[in-house]
Amino acid sequence: MNDAHHLSGQRFFAVINAGSSSLKYSLFAETDDGRLERKTDGGIEGIGSDKPYFIAYDDDKYKMDEHRWTTCEPLETLLAFLIEWIENFLAPNHLSAVGHRMLHGGTLYDEPIIVTPEILENLRTLVPLAPLHQPRILKVIDTLAARYPGLCQIVCFDTSFHKTNPPISRLYGLPQSLTDKGLQRYGFHGLSFEYVSMELKHIDMHAAMGKTIIAHLGSGASMCAMVGGKSVASTMGFSALDGLVMGTRCGQLDPGVILYLLQYENMNAHDLETLLYQESGLLGVSGISNDVRDLMASDDPAAKTALELFVYRVVRETGSLAAACGGLDAFVFTAGIGERSPEIRAAICEQLDWLGLELDERANRLGELKISTDTSPVSIWILPTFEELMIARHGARLSAQYERERQKKA
């Protein structure tokens, strides 16, 4: 175990990201000048399988600890292990706050918030909006609240960044009675877009405050159109299924397909959920893998088709988002595929040359910060996302507020 004595006297913020089969964490320390530095990150993968495993890395990304189980363990057991590991790492220090990435804020919440019993009950009412993600996150919050009653917990919503979307852009062509129940467009990956937009301000203020598209291209993928640093449109809508083709999600789909599957393929709601979330996208089209690297290494024509479809959808959505912006000044690649695949970036930019994207092939191949030519009408960037740091920043701000209020009551 890492010696944590040198960490004493600092404020610490843990970020826990509860996924469908994983519990990922990051631990940040606040420096004397108010910056946040990540000290360790990692998590537990394979939850629900018979071989879950834990791995932890230090701030230089060297493996510092690992643990493997040989049987399927309940979430409570695995979460307790993770919490105890963080406790041991911090000793004799303690956490100032824990931040959680929550997929959906619905129409109730459009800002990060400190969890209270009342808010927690409100969050439970949002489960139908994100049935795969929300229950797992709530379980983690409940477990931490029971173990540390006084611990400040903060939830940050992936929908919050898109609160600036024009009201008309949120509407579906549905009866008002359904819209009133929350059936509208929300947009997701907001924490990623928020972080990247803030970083862009330090690099190119014109791009950050102009008409900009950020492409978060990973296993989950979406794009956001910004004007003046504020979101005006995104490719995801009511759920994280909409928009781009993703690793295992189909993206935009004619609702008539759902009706056909219900009526003629005898699928039920569970079957559809499995198909749309786990069996479609790059995996479904290729029949090989949901990983771009595997598909690029394959000679199978279906792998090529899947990649071409991925690129095609990005290009088409770019045209739609540019229309929402009223033009385009900058295009930013981020997330796993966007940051690490020069081939995918090149294929996208080649099909967007009509919009003013001129790629510097050498800069793209080397993965430099700016990958457009000096004469490109639209600047092109690669900016790594850091959603965990964005959550920790909100945690630091809100926990300071939390402490001030506690002191007033004392």
Give the end-to-end CA distance of the chain in Å, rounded to a whole number.
37
Whether residue 333 lies inside any domain: the answer is yes
211 and 127 in a common domain: no
Asked whether residue 175 is domain-assigned, the answer is: no
pLDDT the model gives residue 300: 96
Whether residues 230 and 364 share a domain: the answer is yes
- Structurally, how many domains does the chain consist of? 2
- At residue 18, the pLDDT reads 85
The pLDDT > 90 percentage for the chain reads 71
Residue 410: predicted pLDDT: 64
Provide the pLDDT for residue 32.
84
The one-letter code for the residue type at 391 is I
169, part of any domain: no
Q: Is residue 200 part of a domain?
A: no
Instruction: Say what the pLDDT of residue 2 is.
Output: 41
Query: In whole numbers, what is the pLDDT of the chain averaged over residues?
Result: 91
Within a domain: residue 76? yes
pLDDT band at 9 (very low <50, low <70, confident <90, very high): low
Quote the pLDDT of residue 287: 95
Tell whether the model's pLDDT for residue 7 goes beyond 60. Answer: no
Position 129 in a domain: yes
The residue behind tokens 């909006």 is 129
Tell me what the mean pLDDT of segment 222-250 comes to.
Answer: 95
Q: Collapsing DSSP states into helix, strand and coil, what is residue 237?
A: coil
Q: Write down the pLDDT at residue 167.
A: 95
- Of 99-113, 195-209, 210-224, 364-378, least confident by mean pLDDT is 99-113
Are 404 and 370 in the same domain? Answer: no
Report pLDDT digits (tens) over 145-202.
Answer: 888 888 889 999 999 999 999 999 999 999 999 999 889 999 999 999 999 999 999 9
Q: Region 300-326: what's the mean pLDDT? A: 97
The answer to the question of residue 187 being in a domain is no
Both 248 and 331 in a single domain?
Answer: yes
360 shares its domain with 400? no
Q: What is the pLDDT of residues 368-391, one digit of tens each?
A: 999 999 999 999 999 999 999 999
Stretch 250-272: mean pLDDT: 95
CATH number, position 377:
3.30.420.40
Longest dimension (CA), the chain: 68
Mean pLDDT for the stretch of residues 89-93: 82
Q: Is 300 among the domain residues?
A: yes
Same domain, 347 and 400: no
Residue 368 token pair: 């430099």
Mean pLDDT within 333-351: 96
Determine the pLDDT at residue 13. Answer: 92
What integer pLDDT is reported at residue 75 of this predicted model? 82
pLDDT of res. 6: 43
Percent of the chain with pLDDT over 70: 97
Contact assessment for residue 208 and residue 197, using Cβ atoms and an 8 Å cutoff: yes
Residues 374 and 396 in one domain: no
- Boundaries of domain holding 13: 5-164+391-409
Same domain, 133 and 225: no
- Between the alpha carbon of residue 274 and those of residues 132, 224, 248, 306, the distances in Å are 11, 26, 10, 19
Is residue 375 located within the same domain as residue 284?
yes
Q: How far apart are CA 48 and CA 291, in angstroms?
A: 21
Q: Residue 3 pLDDT more than 60?
A: no
Report the C-alpha gap between 135 and 153 in whole angstroms: 16
Which residues participate in catalysis according to the annotation?
A: 158
Q: Find out whether 20 and 380 touch, Cβ atoms under 8 Å.
A: no
- Are residues 100 and 231 both part of a single domain? no
pLDDT greater than 60 at residue 357: yes
Do 25 and 160 lie in one domain? The reply is yes
Q: Are residues 144 and 245 in the same domain?
A: no
Q: What are the counts of helices (DSSP H) followed by strands (DSSP E) for the chain?
A: 16, 13
User: Which residues does 111 contact at the CB level (< 8 Å), separation at least 6?
Assistant: 157, 160
CB proximity list for 291: less than 8 A, separation 6 or greater: 247, 282
